[in-house]
Amino acid sequence: MNKNLVKNMYYPPGGILMWIVIFLELITFGMALVAMAAYSKDEPEVFHNSRLLLNTTYGTINTLFLITSGFFMALSVRYLKDGNAKKSSLYLKLTMLGGLLFLILKTIEYNAKIDAGLTLEYNTFFSFYWMLTLFHVIHVLVGLVILTIVYFDLKKKKEQTNLDDFEASAAFWHMCDLIWLLLFPIIYLIF
């Protein structure tokens, strides 16, 4: 095997450790979603009627927020690689705004569900809904904290910002997109 291939294998974009974390997270969420699909076979009507109680519009808008936020993150990385710290910083702020909008809409959605009595104990579908979406929200919150730290680092060091750290943070943020892309169709659309 040549030297470049070996290097590439151990250095995926964002770093090997971040990708191990990403795969572990994807497997965890994946297994929970498979369990949800399996439980739906025992109570198909409960799952269908419960799914209809969810607000698909909120789910769709939140998907658009996260996709757009991911797009800004990718642009931010691109600009930093090009040596344009000012534009990178601008797109990083827009990325965080996308994450904040996601959390605001999720809070509105959660409030509506709690007011309607659709809590964790309501039925099996809503147990999965709360556990999976709340676990995802925690990841978005952690992602926002990481991006805030990276933002202040970028502001201080400008073009001297460590690109590996920046890419690892971006990979974590994109992981939140990937997880949501698995959650959204199964929870909001399929049953």
Q: Report the residue number, 119 or 181, with the smaller CB distance to other proteins.
A: 181
Residues interacting with other proteins, by CB under 8 A? 5, 8-9, 12-14, 19, 23, 26-27, 30, 33-34, 37-38, 40-41, 56, 60, 63-64, 67-68, 70-71, 73-75, 78, 170-171, 174, 177-178, 181-182, 184-186, 188-190
**Least distance in Å: CB of 184 to other proteins?**
7
**Least distance in Å: CB of 174 to other proteins?**
5
Q: Report the residue number, 3 or 156, with the smaller CB distance to other proteins.
A: 3
Distances (CA, A) of 162 to 52, 140, 147, 155, 186: 46, 22, 14, 12, 38
Q: Report the residue number, 71 or 110, with the smaller CB distance to other proteins.
A: 71
Segment holding 60, helix H or strand E: helix 56-81
Closest CA to 181 of 46, 83, 70, 44: 70
Q: Report the residue number, 74 or 97, with the smaller CB distance to other proteins.
A: 74
Distances (CA, A) of 172 to 2, 76, 115, 179, 190: 29, 14, 33, 11, 27
**Least distance in Å: CB of 28 to other proteins?**
12
**Least distance in Å: CB of 95 to other proteins?**
11
**Least distance in Å: CB of 140 to other proteins?**
15
Distances (CA, A) of 129 to 36, 69, 155, 179, 187: 9, 23, 38, 14, 7
CA angle 129, 21, 80 (to 5 degrees): 105
